[in-house]
Amino acid sequence: MNLLLTGAAGGVATQIRPLLLERYGSVLLSDRVQPEALQDGETFVAADLGEPDQIDALMKQCDAIIHLGGVSVEAPWQPVLEANIAGLYNVYEAARVNKVQRIVFASSNHAVGFYPRDIVIDHEKPVRPDTRYGVSKAFGEALGGLYADKHGLRVFNIRIGNVADRPIDRRRMSIWLHPEDLVQLCAIGLEHPDVHFETVYGFSKCEPAWWDNRRATELGYQPKHRSSDFRDEVLAADPPPGPGDASEIYQGGTFVLEP
């Protein structure tokens, strides 16, 4: 597999690059800024998602993509539009033209951030974005559906919670994703023969869980890391919220308060 990792200079990519290299032997990295500390087996090609020619040149060099590149938090509309809407279209269109086989898309919990925390949602619930950023992820999931159903790409959307070595606060106890578990999900998206168009949740074994991840389980996902191992220290450092705090009612946390 000739694997391309976009957003390769970013926080998530930096955490999973060693694991991808171990599993796949070589990885083509791309970003608009140079990633640090390239290893044997890693090649970097600079490209801006907003430049179709640059993205087309990238797609000629791969047959599978983990797409992490783009705006990764709430932002004004213009950068979201350029990177996550038009930029993602450039990725899918170049993938189609160059017959790329598979795309793993880094979607986000913020595509469903306006669901309250006291209900459990699955992959079949309609999106409820909490931000312009969340809307762009909902768009990205839908765009993947179009290219899967119309053009035969195999598309795997992962609604990522929060990628880190450990849950960093009370909210992350429910949505934390260890980098090893993320790579396990990516491998399902890149390798599983039944993947046509899938959307799964990207979290480790978390309590309390807000997401029913049965589709990921059906495809073989078995997270190795559990948030409850960190419960005492996380809850001691992050006291319970006061009543009526909207950022504690909804799954998207403080993103629901963004203007």
The residue among 59 and 160 lying less far from ligand NAD, judged by its C-beta, is: 160
- Neighbour-count burial of 150, counting CB atoms closer than 10 A to its CB (0-12 exposed, 13-18 middle, 19+ buried): exposed
Distance CA 3, CA 61 (A): 9
Which residues of the chain form contacts with ligand NAD (CB under 6 A)? 7, 9-13, 31-33, 48-50, 68-70, 72, 83, 87, 106, 108, 160, 162-163
Residue nearest to ligand NAD (CB): 10
Q: Is 115 a catalytic residue?
A: no
Given the residues 24, 92, 133, 221, the one annotated as active site: 133
The residue among 48 and 258 lying less far from ligand NAD, judged by its C-beta, is: 48
Nearest to 64 by CA among 2, 142, 11: 2
Which helix (H) or strand (E) covers residue 59, if one does?
helix 52-59
Minimum CB distance to ligand NAD, residue 23 (Å): 19
Minimum CB distance to ligand NAD, residue 10 (Å): 2
CA angle 79, 145, 196 (to 5 degrees): 130
Helix then strand count (H, E) for the chain reads 10, 9
The residue among 37 and 244 lying less far from ligand NAD, judged by its C-beta, is: 37
Minimum CB distance to ligand NAD, residue 205 (Å): 17
Distance CA 194, CA 148 (A): 13
Distance CA 169, CA 180 (A): 20
The residue among 68 and 153 lying less far from ligand NAD, judged by its C-beta, is: 68
Minimum CB distance to ligand NAD, residue 81 (Å): 11
Which residues are annotated as catalytic? 133
